[in-house]
């Protein structure tokens, strides 16, 4: 009884004095009842010691009622000091789903000391009081933390501490929000060069993953369609592939990959999830493919871009000199016969070319957003197609159209060489004839003659029906269909392809498909467009491929040898056609100029990504 009266006396003194003495005196008074070590020596060494009891238990105003047990204080409002943490915690899984309060985890609030390097160990110990996950404690991350590696991830590094997320659907369904959240958590550490080097780990695994199909589709915003980090490195089983317990151990890969893929051959798991094309030792096939494709791109563009620039210089300078001398264009001095049109392409060939344009642009605009998935325009372009699934569907439809066109051309070539009724008779003459697209010695002479003309060392060569650059365009399609088409077929159904080739071939196919597509697109949009649009006598476009006819004067200028041969053979008359109609000209101009503008716009986007 005497002790109670003494406490009341101190309360009166406290309420009459300043706040600091109140806190100190009340702390001594509180310790009269709360005299355990947690409230005396432990509290004095804690981070809250300077606050005093009233700063947290501010609702205790009637000490007598409190000391007799008639009044119990309300739960402490930690948010009064820890405002930001309190705001984060209002969205926390533990608060929303389990109604956890601060003291459920921070039971040592009266003895809590300042966080040091052992914070990760303390976090693991605290979380595993409820989450008794032995798999995590013995896995790569936690095992490293418990051994003193403070770079390794503890619970809070992946799941957050006060901001542990609640996702819109259960985590068992692994929604896109959750997938992206955990992918970003993994990337935040594994993309840190300094941290990875400290721990003797590759700092390129994120970069290599992002260059795979999985990483590219995720990069354009469709994470649920592909495997993310936690799909292969399952939950807390973060162990090296040499550990038999690891989900990426060779013995466990079939089951691991089988969570998403079905019906594959055992060698499907030879696919490399983080391939390094520059690593000759560990990925020799990928390295050789990378070197070959890089060399092919460099050689092709160095030769043809140089060829194009020299041609542009010669043509425009020559035109400039004619204008200075007041020489009128050739077609102003022709006779009426020169305006007569003759056929060069049939209706079937023109229709095939239009289908080729449509399928090619579809393939480019659906495929390149994946190739350059980090570019700001990639998601926009993918969105115009309705997202990755729809873009993939149109990509495959366009691929089928292109393959059908290729098959038709191949059949037409065979019929040209081996026409019905003649069979093999005279096939070599047809193969090396002027109407054939097969290379011959004259093409080599034309190349040398063109170079001499570029440097004012001779006249421009006289071409027959096909020039050497047109033959290159034609045969490039055969290589392209083998490279792009073959790799695309393998990648279309990788599970089925595993019965034909091992999984690592799919990595090779991905590289070939991507680089050959770049070669084809840039070649068409630069070299081919120059040949058909920017040559002075064709600017702004050559309608020939759409109308199918051109004037005899154009035939004389562009293909003098063909004109002379047709005249000698008496075939000019049978090739004469009506002048193209106005609707046909308008349609031709619309398709041609739209293709030109779209191609140039895409070229700018591609080069922007490459050089930045």
- Tens of pLDDT along 482-506? 999 999 999 999 999 999 999 999 9
- Who's near 191: CB < 8 A, 6+ residues apart? 203, 206, 207
Answer yes or no: do 55 and 98 share one domain.
Answer: yes
pLDDT confidence of residue 20: 42
Expressed in angstroms, the distance from the first to the final Cα of the chain is: 82
Answer yes or no: do 249 and 300 share one domain.
Answer: no
Answer yes or no: do 132 and 75 share one domain.
Answer: no
Answer yes or no: do 240 and 365 share one domain.
Answer: no
pLDDT confidence of residue 336: 67
Average pLDDT over residues 166-194: 80
Closest CA to 257 of 275, 239, 276, 231: 231
pLDDT confidence of residue 18: 39
Closest CA to 292 of 453, 483, 472: 483
Range of the domain at 103: 1-114
Instruction: Report how far residue 322's alpha carbon sits from residue 69's, in angstroms, rounded to the nearest whole number.
Output: 110
pLDDT confidence of residue 74: 83
3-state secondary structure 138-205: CCHHHHHHHCCCCCCCCHHHHHCCCCCCCCCCCHHHCCHHHHHHHHHHHHHHHCCHHHHHHCCCCCCH
pLDDT by residue (tens digit) across 300-311? 999 999 999 999
In the chain, the number of structural domains is 3
276: left (phi over 0), alpha (psi -120 to 50) or beta: beta
What would the two tokens of residue 252 be? 């466990």
Answer yes or no: do 110 and 142 share one domain.
Answer: no
Give the H or E element holding residue 401. Answer: helix 388-417
Q: Bigger pLDDT: 142 or 265? A: 265
Longest dimension (CA), the chain: 135
pLDDT confidence of residue 198: 92
Q: Which range among 133-142, 267-276, 384-393, 527-536 shows the weakest confidence by mean pLDDT?
A: 133-142
Answer yes or no: do 321 and 310 share one domain.
Answer: yes
**Residue 55 resides in a domain:** yes
Q: Bigger pLDDT: 170 or 232? A: 232
Answer yes or no: do 503 and 387 share one domain.
Answer: yes
- Whether the predicted pLDDT of 267 surpasses 60: yes
Q: Do 273 and 232 touch, CB atoms closer than 8 A? A: yes
pLDDT confidence of residue 5: 38
Among the candidates 537, 559, 588, a domain finishes at: 537
Answer yes or no: do 110 and 126 share one domain.
Answer: no
- Whether the predicted pLDDT of 544 surpasses 50: yes
Closest CA to 124 of 102, 101, 103, 147: 147
Answer yes or no: do 226 and 319 share one domain.
Answer: no
421: left (phi over 0), alpha (psi -120 to 50) or beta: left
- Whether the predicted pLDDT of 597 surpasses 90: yes
Average pLDDT over residues 523-527: 95
Average pLDDT over residues 172-186: 80
pLDDT confidence of residue 6: 36
Mean of pLDDT over the chain? 87
pLDDT by residue (tens digit) across 136-169? 666 778 888 888 888 998 888 888 888 888 876 5
Q: Do 549 and 342 touch, CB atoms closer than 8 A? A: yes
Query: For the domain that residue 486 is a member of, what is the CATH number?
Result: 1.20.950.20
């Amino acid at each position: 009884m005497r002790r109670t009266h003494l406490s009341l006396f101190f309360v009166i003194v406290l309420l009459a004095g300043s706040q600091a003495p109140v806190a100190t005196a009340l702390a001594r008074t509180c310790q009269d009842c709360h005299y355990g070590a947690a409230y005396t020596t432990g509290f004095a060494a804690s981070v809250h010691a300077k606050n005093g009891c009233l700063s947290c238990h501010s609702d205790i105003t009637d000490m007598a009622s409190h000391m007799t047990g008639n009044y119990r204080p309300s739960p402490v409002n930690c948010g009064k000091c820890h405002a930001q943490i309190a705001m984060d915690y209002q969205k926390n899984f533990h608060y929303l789903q389990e109604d956890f309060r601060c003291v459920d985890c921070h039971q040592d609030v009266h003895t809590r000391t300042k966080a040091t390097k052992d914070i990760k160990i303390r976090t693991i110990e605290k979380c595993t009081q409820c989450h008794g996950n032995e798999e995590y404690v013995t896995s790569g991350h936690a095992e490293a933390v418990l051994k003193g590696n403070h770079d390794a991830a503890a619970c809070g590094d992946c799941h957050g501490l006060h901001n542990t997320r609640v996702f819109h659907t259960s985590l068992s369904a692994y929604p896109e929000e959750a997938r992206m959240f955990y992918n970003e958590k993994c990337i935040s550490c594994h993309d840190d060069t300094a941290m990875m080097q400290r721990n003797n780990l590759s700092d390129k695994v994120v970069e290599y993953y992002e260059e795979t199909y999985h990483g590219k589709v995720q990069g354009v915003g469709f994470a649920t369609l592909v495997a993310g980090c936690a799909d292969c490195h399952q939950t807390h089983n973060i162990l090296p592939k040499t550990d038999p317990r690891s989900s990426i151990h060779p013995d466990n890969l079939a089951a691991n990959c089988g969570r998403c893929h079905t019906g594959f051959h055992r060698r499907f798991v030879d696919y490399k999830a983080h391939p390094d094309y520059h690593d000759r030792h560990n990925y020799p096939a990928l390295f050789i493919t990378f070197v070959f494709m890089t060399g092919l791109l460099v050689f092709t563009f160095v030769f043809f871009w140089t060829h194009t620039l020299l041609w542009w210089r010669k043509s425009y300078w020559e035109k400039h000199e004619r204008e200075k001398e007041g020489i009128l264009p050739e077609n102003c001095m022709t006779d009426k016969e020169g305006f007569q049109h003759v056929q060069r392409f049939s209706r079937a060939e023109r229709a095939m070319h239009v289908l080729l344009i449509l399928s090619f642009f579809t393939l480019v605009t659906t495929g390149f957003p994946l190739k350059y998935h980090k570019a700001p325009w990639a998601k926009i372009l993918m969105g115009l197609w309705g997202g990755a699934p729809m873009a993939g569907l149109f990509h495959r439809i366009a691929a089928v159209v292109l393959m059908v066109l290729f098959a038709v051309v191949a059949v037409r070539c065979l019929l040209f060489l081996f026409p019905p009724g003649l069979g093999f008779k005279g096939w070599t003459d047809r193969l090396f004839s002027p109407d054939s697209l097969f290379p011959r010695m004259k093409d080599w002479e034309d190349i040398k003659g063109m170079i001499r003309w570029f440097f004012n060392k001779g006249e421009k060569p006289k071409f027959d029906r096909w020039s050497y650059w047109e033959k290159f365009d034609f045969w490039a399609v055969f290589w392209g269909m083998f490279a792009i088409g073959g790799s695309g077929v393998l990648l279309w159904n990788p599970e089925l392809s595993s019965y034909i080739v091992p999984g690592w071939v799919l990595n090779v196919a991905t590289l070939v498909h991507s680089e050959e597509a770049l070669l084809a697109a840039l070649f068409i949009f630069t070299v081919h467009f120059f040949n058909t649009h920017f040559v002075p006598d064709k600017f702004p476009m050559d309608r020939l491929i759409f109308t199918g006819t051109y004037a005899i004067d154009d035939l004389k200028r562009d293909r003098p040898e063909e004109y002379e041969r047709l005249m000698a053979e008496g075939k000019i008359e049978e090739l004469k056609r009506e002048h193209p109609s106005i609707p046909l000209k308008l349609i031709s101009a619309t398709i041609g100029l739209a293709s030109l503008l779209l191609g140039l716009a895409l070229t700018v986007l591609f080069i922007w990504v490459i050089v930045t």
